[in-house]
Chain A
Amino acid sequence: MLEQLKPIICEYVEAEPENITLDSKFIEDLHFNSYDFMSFLGEVEEMFEVTVDEQDILNLQTVGDAIAYLENLKK
């Protein structure tokens, strides 16, 4: 899933795909702001056909958190 997310992340922020890892933090490392992140989640929802619960959003701090969460939703 990481490889699927990389191009989407790069649509939002100036990051090199090879530098995006599971530990990359959306805000501190990738420099997402709140709107970027919400907009990104909307795109991810469409791509993976899932619905992200608003209560869970603040817990998604790293790319790894997002992947684990999405994988859980897809089960």
Chain B
Amino acid sequence: MKEFQVNGVTLKCYPLTAAQRIHNYSVMHCPYHQLLNIGTGLYIQLDVDFNLLKESIYECYERFESMRLRFLEDTDGTVYQYLVPFEERDIEFRDFSHWKEEDAHDEMRRWTAVPFKRFHSPMSQIVMIKLPNDYNGIYMKVNHLTMDSSSIITFFRDVLEIYCSKCYDYPAPKPMHSYIKALEKDLAYEAGSAAQKKDAEFWMNEITKSEPMYTDFNGMGRLLTQRRENNNPDQRSAKVTSISPEASISVYQLEKEPSERLIKFCEENRVPVVCLLLMGLRTVLSKFNNDEKDVSIKSCVARRGTLLEKRSGGTRIHFFPIRTILEPECTFLEGIRAIQEEQNRLFRHANYDPIAHTYQRVRHWKLNSGESYESISLTYQPMTMRQDSEDIPNIPYKSMWYTNGVAAQPLYLTVMHRVEDNGLNFNFEYRKDAVTNYEMEYLYYYLCRVLFRGIENSSRTIGEILEMI
């Protein structure tokens, strides 16, 4: 912690956490500062009292410390964060009710691509929206340094709960926890704690075990090209970075009934949904890469265990590779359980700095700049923005995630539940130079085939599934 004078006032300023440094690192190496923007919208088919909604939003700004974060840069270039006591930015209102709905969403996509000023500036923008067909709600743009998808969903739910408490005597939500308290806990871990040393040792052991194998969502082409270019037929890594970060999002909606079948399978077999998805994805990667047995995927760890972590906002996501080496004789369910065990092992060391992990891996395996072993990152988001109450049952909802137009990673799959019917949406955010919309559709098609072949008979072996699809 360090004190700085901001507008004549002495303020406590805190260094960035490891989770924030990942984002800061990306933005420092990318000329497009909108890279960290997350645009979202939540709309309900109900008459909304916009004055009351505005009051509710300001109240949520008060409750959510991380929505009031600002950043500054020290003379040596180190970035610090501090809190302002209240949000001074106006909550605007836009009436799109006479627009075509798709045009309204396009306009909000354009807003999402406008970067925030980096220092001494609000890191969020909220606009109250009227859409066609009597849908009303809010658009929100936040900087990823201050919020992640869990925080955003918690914020939206909080706005709705507060609005309902004002409108319908719905009970007011519990107070939020302190972001600063959670931040101090993270910084204490990073300041040479025994837990950090234990985690560093764990990750070093993981890295040095054996070299992983790169598997691409587009097949062997990328790896073979790298091998040829480097004149190294045994090369196991491939370059995944690009000078062209232009990106898009393709969303595939899995219908309600098949989504329920996947969830039911997980409940009956007591396995997490994310492990089923990882098993599906790793099997597809295996299929696309000559039935490769050694597959790694970057998996998102939300790092929200305690109630303090769950209800203090902020950005907490760390990414670590989940690597599995599965023989063709391994059954689908055994594969999921192997992933579950691996995930549980990694969870115990997930507070470790992912950038440090990446550097250590690059150094150990002597990787060239931009090379990696993972082509895909996966997040499963179990929370939804839906907030039901007895007073306002069965209201039609719509939620949107707007692209900011650029991406650091070639392919980032987020699987989340739809607010409308709790079915699963597969959101593929992809760099346009790495993959086409058609190739994305192909990947989704194979992913679904593997998942449903797997759950209809989970004692099928990987070898059998690879042959069937």
Chain A residues packing against B (C-beta within 8 Å): 11-14, 27, 33-36, 38-42, 46, 54, 57-58
Contact partner of A36 among B270, B305, B343, CB < 8 A? B305
Q: Are A54 and B307 in contact (CB under 8 A)?
A: no
Q: Which B residue's beta carbon lies closest to that of A14?
A: B307
Residues of B271-328 whose CB lies within 8 A of A: 272, 301-308
Residues of B within 8 A of A13 (CB): 307
How many Å lie between the Cα of A1 and that of B314 in the bound state?
34
Contact A38 B347 (CB under 8 A): yes
Q: Output the least CB separation between A17 and chain B (Å).
A: 14
Chain B residues with CB below 8 A from A36, complex form:
305
Q: Are the C-beta atoms of B347 and A39 separated by less than 8 Å?
A: yes
**1/0 per residue B88-116: CB within 8 Å of A?**
00000000000000000000000000000
Residue B340 at the A interface, CB < 8 A?
Answer: yes
Q: B337-372 interface mask toward A, CB cutoff 8 Å, 1 = contact, 0 = none?
A: 000110111011010000000000000000000000
For the A-B complex with A35-B350, A39-B306, A46-B195 known, give 9 more contacts whose Cβ atoms are closer than 8 Å.
A11-B307, A11-B308, A13-B307, A34-B340, A34-B344, A34-B347, A42-B195, A54-B341, A54-B348
CB distance from A60 to the nearest CB of B (A): 11
Count of chain B residues near A, Cβ 8 A? 20
Q: Are A41 and B348 in contact (CB under 8 A)?
A: yes
List of A residues within 8 angstroms of B340 by Cβ = 34, 58
B-side contacts of A33, CB under 8 Å: 272, 382
List chain A residues, Cβ under 8 A from B270: 27
Q: Is there contact, CB below 8 Å, between A57 and B306?
A: no
Chain B 6-44 interface 0/1 with A at a Cβ cutoff of 8 Å (1 = within): 000000000000000000000000000000000000000
User: Contacts A11-B306, A35-B303, A36-B305; is A42 near B348 (CB within 8 Å)?
Assistant: yes
Q: Which residues on B sit within 8 Å (CB–CB) of A42? A: 195, 348
A12 with B305, Cβ < 8 A, contacts A27-B270, A33-B272, A34-B272 known: yes
Give the contacts of B217-275 with A (CB-CB under 8 A).
270, 272
**Given the complex of chains A and B, what is the CA–CA distance between A12 and B345 in angstroms?**
19
Q: How far is the CA of A40 from the CA of B347 in the complex (A)?
A: 11
Q: Do residues B307 and A12 form an inter-chain contact, with CB atoms below 8 A?
A: yes
For residue B342, which residue of chain A has the nearest CB?
Answer: A54
Interchain CA distance A47-B405 in the complex, whole Å: 47
